[in-house]
Amino acid sequence: MWLVFSLPMAVLAHSKESGKVDVDIQGPNLASVNAAVALVGSNDLMFGKNADRPVPIASVTKVMTALVVLESGAPLNEWLVFRKRHTSAAANAYSRIRIGSQMRRADVLRIALMSSENFAAYTLARSHPDGFDGFVEAMNAKAKALGMTGTRFVDPTGLSAENLSTAGDLVKLVNAAAEYPEIREYSTTNYFRGQFRKPRYSLSFGNTNALVHRDSWGVGLSKTGYLSEAGRCLVMVSNMNGKQVVTVLLDSLGTRSPMGDAGRIKRWLDTGASGKVANAARQYALEKNAAYNSAGHSTTAALK
């Protein structure tokens, strides 16, 4: 069971007049261009930064992929075949997995989440009871059911920059996904040796989020993502000063920037300190904000 706690005094100090946190005005300084922070179980934001802006989300997509797989009721012990893609991937889809080999659905889901294995995510969709196209339709239907009004999916991997969502919408997705123990377990597995058959072989996989290796963070759900159009992305449930917190960080410049942002959010929740980010990150944010603003009309039209 996920526990929800009251806001710490450092955060309450920001909300004396209105009773609400001033989203997009007060809060931690972040390298991420778009962000949202909420307590687990609540979709009300404690902090947001461009939280309603639809942007590419890269492999964060796979959280919705996992949700659709589990809600389909397809057996997790079923052996799935890794078939050659029936459509070209929108970006580099290199995989060490051999075409024609097989793996159990549970393990395919695990490596899709923990190691962001794109061929695994594709295979989960290809093996859906309603087929690949039906899987993508189910992703969008689930987004609608969750009230994710700024979200659209066109593929299950996140390789397409046309997969769009908002930081606020992703809080809703993470809260829904956190209800599933399989998603919590698989997405936070440190290392895994995957077993395949026909032919028989094994491969090692590691988690793409370094924070899952640190006990002090108590990471309960995790997904990273990267595309050149999306920047570095991270969604996570973690222990921040005794509270279970949903953190959504979208479009950071550097590989470690989302982790640095998570640390700044953690300190802000504890002390109210805003923290500092590097000049390069601030310049990146200025450039990306200008680009998002100039593309805003076309993005809005694409969601309709």
Domain boundaries, the chain: 23-303
| pLDDT at site 61 | 98
Nearest C-alpha neighbor of 221 from the set 168, 173, 266 = 173
Q: Is 251 exposed, middle or buried (0-12, 13-18, 19+ CB in 10 A)?
A: buried
φ/ψ of residue 184, rounded to 5: -65, -45
Residue 143, CA distances (Å) to 64, 150, 177 in order: 8, 9, 12
CA atoms within 13 Å, Cβ hemisphere of 93: 22
The tens digit of pLDDT for each residue in 156-194 reads 999 999 999 999 999 999 999 999 999 999 999 999 999
Confidence of residue 211 (pLDDT cuts 50, 70, 90): very high
Determine the pLDDT at residue 42.
Answer: 97
In Å, what is the CA distance from 279 to each residue of 122, 253, 285, 286?
Answer: 38, 11, 10, 11
Average pLDDT over residues 202-212: 97
User: How many whole angstroms separate alpha carbon 196 and alpha carbon 168?
Assistant: 38
What DSSP assignment string belongs to 18-55? TSS--TTTSS---SSSEEEEEETT--S-SEEESTT--E
Q: pTM here?
A: 0.90
pLDDT given for residue 26 in this prediction:
65
Q: Residue 251: enclosing H or E segment and its boundaries?
A: strand 243-252
The domain defined by 23-303 folds into Beta-lactamase (3.40.710)
Burial grade of 157 (CB within 10 A; 0-12, 13-18, 19 or more): buried
3-47 confidence digits (pLDDT tens) = 333 344 344 333 333 334 444 446 999 999 999 999 999 999 999
pLDDT at 92: 76
Confidence of residue 91 (pLDDT cuts 50, 70, 90): confident
Token pair, residue 154, equals 């066109």
Dist CA 129 CA 77 (whole Å):
15
pLDDT digits (tens, 9 = 90+) for 235-261: 999 999 899 999 999 999 988 899 999
Top pLDDT among 223 and 242 is at 223
Q: What's the confidence (pLDDT) of residue 300?
A: 59
So which residues are the catalytic ones? 59, 62, 116
